Chains A and B, each alone.
Chain A
Amino acid sequence: MKYFFGVILLILYTELLVAGNSLGSLDKSYIVIMKKGSIQKDLEKELSPYKWQEIKSLGSDMFLVVLKKESNVNLIQLQKKFSKSKKIESIEVNQKYHAH
């Protein structure tokens, strides 16, 4: 029972932390193109320094990567880091588009 309430309190605390975060540090969503022959495991390894929320295959060696807020890294830093990678071809922002 104590454990149960502990979990509940932890969830509530986490939610409060989330709610208390600045809107300016939203989850960051990126598109990664992998080099031929690389797989999701390689991507996960490359992203190991960061906390990620979601990695999802889009087909054709491309992946959606959603980093958590606390990763505290921006696109330029990621591009610089991955420019030397043997597994990652490119990384860019998951942009928004709109129906015309």
Chain B
Amino acid sequence: MIKILLLIFIFSTSILADEFVKGELLVKMKSKSSSVKVKLRSGKDMSEAIEEYERNPNVEYAQPNYIYHLQSTTPNDPKFSEAWALKNSAQSITGATYSTNNPGSSGKDMNLINAWDLNTNCNSIIVAVLDSGVNYNHEDLSANMWDGTNCRDQNNLFLGSCNFGYDFVDSDKTPMDLNGHGTHIAGTIGAVGNNSIGGVGVCWNVKIMAVRVANVVGELTTASVINGINFARYNGAKVINMSLGGTGTEDTAYKTAVTNAINDGIVVVVSAGNDGANNDTTPMWPCSFNLSGIVCVAAVDQAYSLATFSNYGATSVDVGAPGTNIYNSTNGTWSSIQTDNFSTGWTQTPTTTVWKYVAAGSGSSCVAPSYPALLTLPNNWCADGTYANNLDQRIWKNFGSTPGNYDAAKFEFEIFFDLQKNNDYLGIARWNVNSEPYAASSSSLAASLSELGTSGTATTVEYDLDPCKGQSNCSIGFIFQSNSSVVDNGVALFNFVIKGLTLSTNNYKSLNGTSMAAPHVAGLAALIRAFNPNYTVTDTVNAIINGGDSVTSLSGKTVSGKVVDAYGSLTYINTPTGVTATVQ
């Protein structure tokens, strides 16, 4: 039996060990616990010597003394040198925006160089990226996209051919990424490896399913994500990555959809969140769903410290993975099209002076004088006291055709607010008309802010300009409505900017977030499942967690206290599941 095992071992490692020391054998006597090295006399034939030893009943086995080499499978992709998560040589990362521990510590990486000696190919695995879509034309992703032939919808009904996935935001078959988030995540999972282009994913070959559930500004709903999960289920995904989340109440429908996916054999990898918060005390969904098939991932930096922004949780966050200065593919370039300081071109109704432009540096005591120009209601933020009851005061400006000429557009601004919560409202609208947008269509409403209440610090908000796409007019408006009771200090808006997206197939950038950590684990899940095709969800999760490396920074901050280690996971020996034994 031992000889058979030995032969299996020799055969299975023959790729690595095709040389041996001439004139030397390792001989194991049955009475001894280990083998001894035997030098043969000069000219003695080695196979003859092995046969002679094995004829001896006291010898358990005799074999050549093989020579092994450490292998290091390194891809030729030019941006691989930026990928500290895959190989950390204490390099500085281009375009880094997270300065702590950049550069980091050599060797603090996912140990993929060794893992790739065992497997680089996840082509048998479909990984569904539930996100803002994927730029499926990207030079370093297109070859690894799921082809979408014979795709089925969220009800498991035949849809025909889809383009690499499905778009549940616009309800069509072209899940193009109009944000950038999803394309970066897809690259981390499976940018084509060893193709001399761009970067490299955890998997060199894989099938990435693009499931667009988030809009231009990265927002999504329970409905879109449930659609996405069911689409992934019915189209054969083995791994789902969801680098997204939200606080609030536990969402039963969302949890049910995730449970169904896990029961269908899908490993679900999610991000912990970027608030630096404890998910055990302030749940972040889906991370905090108490489901064994979910792997929730925190972000570590280039020295394996917990990233300052990363959420954590000793009972809710499972494991850590690289999430700072992650350099990979993106969908194109967002550029500033137009800024506006609210000084000209804005029309308000019904009264012309309720909304007011306040020049830069002349803000009241409520706003530091260094603040830029403001659009305020009432007149001068809180210097003029509170706003009036029973207002319906609107202000708008037409920005013409420019936003509509881009692949996508959005607008951003900063806001101070002090409203009677859930009673008084600031509406934000945009529509393709040269008039007040909300009056033109109630569908123009991008948001109605009332839950904000009061904040002493400015908040940056952003909204899509989807209705303006391809149109010659693009009006943006604000509507302030108060009821007949309590009044507060109102709102002040500043730093208004419209941005346009130009898609491209060869853009790359460095990003930070637990969103960037999760796809490293999703890629690893695919690598494990491709390497061990019979692994269940439980087997895969066990391999991810138990194959990881303990780090002090995650002790007490995550369930496992570990960062992922790809080689450790591929070589982790699972206790078989589904096997029962009878004691006799």
Contact = CB atoms under 8 A, between A and B. Distances in A.
Interface of A: 15-16, 18-24, 26, 29, 31, 33, 56-60, 62, 64, 90, 92-100
Given A23-B448, A97-B245, A99-B244, 5 more contacts: A23-B425, A23-B481, A92-B222, A95-B251, A99-B220
Given A58-B226, A59-B156, A62-B256, A100 B515 contact: yes
Chain B: interface residue count, which band? Answer: 35 or more
Contacts of A56: 223
B439 interface: yes
B218 A19 contact: no
Contacts of A93: 222, 249
Given A31-B253, A95-B246, A62 B226 contact: yes
Nearest to B261: A60
Interface of B: 131-132, 153-156, 179, 181-182, 214, 218-223, 225-227, 230-231, 234, 243-246, 248-249, 251-254, 256-257, 260, 271-274, 285, 392, 422-423, 425, 427, 438-442, 445, 448, 450, 479, 481, 483, 513-515, 518
B156 A19 contact: no
A94 B222 contact: yes
Contacts of B231: 59
A60 B230 contact: yes
A59 B230 contact: yes
A64 B230 CA distance: 14
Given A62-B226, A99-B243, A100-B273, A23 B220 contact: no
Given A26-B445, A92-B252, A100 B243 contact: yes
A92 B253 contact: yes
Contacts of A98: 214, 218-220, 244-246
B126 to A, nearest CB: 17
A100 B274 contact: yes
A23 B450 contact: yes
Contacts of B131: 99
Contacts of A58: 154, 223, 226-227, 230, 253, 257
A100 B154 CA distance: 24
A96 B221 contact: yes
A19 B220 CA distance: 25
Contact of A19 (B226, B439, B515): B439
The CB with the most chain B CB atoms within 10 A, among A18, A92, A95, is that of A95
Q: Which 5 A-B pairs have the closest CB atoms?
A: A59-B230, A99-B218, A59-B154, A97-B246, A100-B515
B467 to A, nearest CB: 15
A58 to B, nearest CB: 4
A100 B251 contact: no
B230 A24 contact: no
Contacts of B260: 60
Nearest to B223: A64
Contacts of B271: 100
A19 B481 CA distance: 12
A31 B438 CA distance: 27
The CB with the most chain A CB atoms within 10 A, among B218, B230, B234, B253, is that of B253
Contacts of B225: 97
B448 A95 contact: no
A18 B243 CA distance: 36
B243 A31 contact: no
A58 B257 CA distance: 10
A94 B481 contact: no
A24 B227 contact: no
Nearest to A27: B442
A57 B154 contact: yes
B181 A59 contact: no
A55 B99 CA distance: 48
A61 B420 CA distance: 39
A59 B227 contact: yes
A97 B220 contact: yes
A100 B513 CA distance: 6
A19 B350 CA distance: 14
Contact of A29 (B223, B246, B251): B223
